[in-house]
Amino acid sequence: MVGARIYVPADQLADPDRRAASGIGERTAFRSKPQLAVDIMADMVADATMPAWCAGDEVYGRSGELRSFCEDNGIGYVLRVGRAFHADLAAGVRLRADAVVDTVLCRQDSWQIRAVPGSKGDRRYAWAWVATASPHHFLLLRKHLHSGEVAYHYCHVPPGTSVPLMTLVRVACLRWPVEDDFDFGKDHFGLDHSQVRLYTALTRHLVLTMAALAVCAVTAAQAKICAPAPILPVGADEDPPEDPGLIAFTVAEIKRLFILITRRPHTDAHHLHWTWWRRRHQARARWFHHRTRLARQATP
């Protein structure tokens, strides 16, 4: 997590009594969630820390202001849009996103199956992309292999950049680790557990929480580099190994180890025992999850 802005509904900002009770200054004006995202990204552009790509759900995908900001600053994006989103596929040809599936992508060979790594194994979907009237914009569509449910994305590729389909797929799937960040922040670091009610105090709590999460996340990422390769099945009928090994240190596990610096309700041996037990249990669960996926893929 790199930035925080507190979303305050317009009706609360319009009420002087509620503003005063929340400690919100007169200079704070209403900003929608996409506008708050633009504020954070503008700070990153000014600091030269903005990544090359941006991903977001429909709340951000339908914001023309956010899309324009990205395009004006040379930032590529893959933003989720609704089925009713309209795109100009050619001069005089304007279609809804769901109509593109029925007309342009009606053939089975229009879709390509791609896999992106997940915490419990590869996530496999059918993907397709469609060029628009603009050489820098595309429609990216993701279809569930079993239910057939389709998700729609509007993409911008900055001028002078040529990207394959897999690049856009990876950017679209960045929303998964973003959700993981929020889950970890809430469940393990108290991102949404603050008891403060004042605007400034809440902002400070968010920054402190994000800093603690960042320390653990960077530590876990460095530990993962040194971790041995995972033990995984190669066939659907393979028997499980006697020892599945340990998964790499997770953010949650790193946090538990950091806690031992200041608090030791039990002995170090006790805490390390449970650390190894959790990581081995998760490694075993990962092995069986992979084998189930292999069996499912082998079923006609």
| C-alpha to C-alpha distances, 97 to 21, 101, 136, 151, nearest whole angstrom | 45, 7, 17, 9
Q: What is the pTM of this model?
A: 0.80
Token pair belonging to 13: 């900002």
Q: Phi and psi for 113 in degrees, rounded to 5?
A: -85, 125
Bridge pairing between strands 93-96 and 137-143: unpaired
pLDDT in tens, 99-145: 988 888 877 778 998 888 765 567 889 999 999 999 999 999 999 98
In this prediction, residue 45 carries a pLDDT of: 96
Token pair belonging to 157: 């590729």
| C-alpha to C-alpha distances, 28 to 7, 17, 23, 299, nearest whole angstrom | 11, 15, 10, 58
Residue 25 CA neighbour count, 13 Å, CB half:
4
pLDDT in tens, 31-41: 999 999 999 99
pLDDT in tens, 49-65: 999 999 999 999 999 99
Please check whether residue 37 is in contact with residue 55, taking contact to mean a CB–CB distance below 8 angstroms: no
Tell me the pLDDT of the chain averaged across its residues.
89
Q: Quick one: pLDDT band at residue 155, thresholds 50, 70, 90? A: very high
pLDDT in tens, 1-26: 888 889 999 999 999 999 999 999 88
DSSP 250: P
